[in-house]
Amino acid sequence: MSRPDAVRVVRAVVASARRHEITFLAAGVAYYAFVSLVPLLVLALAIGSALGGDALADYALDAVGTFLTPAGQHVVTETVRSAVDRRGATLAGLALLAWSGLRVFRGLDAAFSRIYGRPADEPLTQQLVDGALVLCAVGVAAALAAAVGVLLPRVIGGFVGELVGTVGLAAALTVVFLPVYHVFPDTELPFADVWPGALAAAIGWTLLADGFRLYVATVGSPDLYGVLGAAVLLITWLYVSGTVIMGGAVLNAVLAGRTDDTATEPDERRVETDGGRAGADGGRTEPTPDVTALQHRVESLERELDEKTVDRDAFEDDLKGYVRSRVRRNHARGWGPYLVMLYGTVMTLGAFYWLDGPWAILAMLVVGFSTFGLYVFMTIVGVSLNALGVPGRVAGWLRSKR
């Protein structure tokens, strides 16, 4: 891909992301991910403790720490360890996980359908099946990714181990995201149209995790902010991570030419991924435009223009009525209270400057009562002026109804 094509793709991705409001969609996904995180870990620790003892449970927490910020690790670890011994919490976590986990994937399904310009009218059963399939695939792949992210740095060690672990984590996350980008768009997609977004999202997640760890390590310990600050950092990371996932979907849709933007915009504004259109000597011809579709488009634009066009006579009448009402008003009402406050402040400062002792207190009381009386007087004057302006406003209202 040449540099102009890359710039064109980036512009198309940004425009499509703004059009579909992916940050708003990512906020909902982040909420459901935040709600399902603790129940998922409670269940994982309960199963791990039953199968492999505390060692396997500690390994599960270390694996989760690969994907979270240090603040998030602090909150999740303390919350999960305090809840794992309660069977009632485990049962409640199972029900909450079944609800919120599927809601996460249903939200992703709806968001991807919107990005790809597909109608979001898929049956609930199909959404649940898609969510369950992706949940199983992502669960297995996430376990492998966690193993890679935790084991490689420990086995190799040093800076090389951290670097290899980061690269391995990005590669494993790419495998994690492949089923997400393949199943949810509700359209047949070859894997050649799926891997660019999965790779971009995996790199984004890896950089975000390292960036948040560096930020928290630079700022200070999670204990400095308490549980609330750590929770805010965690949900912020989930929100930004959700935005990265949505951005990967937009990238795939733009490269494949499957966004609703490419279906409605003129041909010259589409992103070409095959090297551009050939001329007459290349043996390729432009497709014949659909006259009926163009006519419907023109009629739609005419209706939009009619809705946005302001009637000149009505606008002039409203403007004249507004100007007349503003002219009749007494502008002193706007700055009158400030004059009263200025009077009271100056008189009080003067009393304490030239007087002292009981005389100063007495002068302050006199100034206070006089300020209140002046304010009441100004209020009475304003009400009287409003009453005098009522006939003019009634006459203007009657003229506007003619």
In the predicted structure, residue 277 carries a pLDDT above the cut 60: no
Tell me which residue of 96, 123, 120 sits closest to 108, measured CA to CA.
120
Average pLDDT, the chain: 69
Which residue carries 């890679």 as its tokens?
Answer: 148
As given in the structure block, the two tokens for residue 378 are 């100004």
List the single range of 4-13, 137-146, 294-303, 341-350 with lowest mean pLDDT.
137-146
Taking the C-alpha atoms of residue 402 and residue 395, their distance in angstroms, rounded to an integer, is: 11
Whole-prediction pTM: 0.53
Check if the beta carbon of residue 78 is closer than 8 Å to that of residue 231.
no
> In the predicted model, what is the mean pLDDT of residues 199-221?
76
CB 194 within 8 A of CB 182: yes
122 to 109, 129, 215, 368: CA distances (angstroms)? 9, 11, 42, 70
Spatial distance between the Cα atoms of 88 and 154, rounded to a whole number of angstroms: 36
More confident residue, 305 or 259: 305
CA 129 to chain centre: 27
Q: What is the mean pLDDT of residues 86-95?
A: 55
CA geometry: angle 260, 263, 265, nearest 5 deg: 100
pLDDT at residue 169, as a whole number: 78
73 pLDDT more than 70: no
Q: In 258-401, which residue ranges form alpha helices assigned H by DSSP?
A: 260-264, 291-308, 312-328, 332-354, 358-400
CA distance 256 to 189: 9
116 or 343: which leads in pLDDT: 116
Cα angle for residues 119, 102, 172 (degrees, 5° grid): 95
What does the pLDDT read at residue 45? 62
The more confidently predicted of residues 131 and 184 is 184
Reported in sequence order, the residue ranges of 285-343 that DSSP labels E, i.e. its strands, are: none
Q: Say which range, 84-98, 228-242, 367-381, has the weakest mean pLDDT.
A: 84-98
Q: Please count the helices (runs of H) and the strands (runs of E) in the chain.
A: 13, 0
Pairwise pLDDT comparison (115 vs 230), residue with the higher score: 115
Q: Over 40-86, what HEC string results? A: HHHHHHHHHHHHHHHHHHHHHHHHHHCCCCHHHHHHHHHHHHHHCCC
185: CB partners within 8 A, 6+ apart: 112, 113, 115, 116, 118, 249, 252, 253, 258
Averaged pLDDT, 168-180: 82
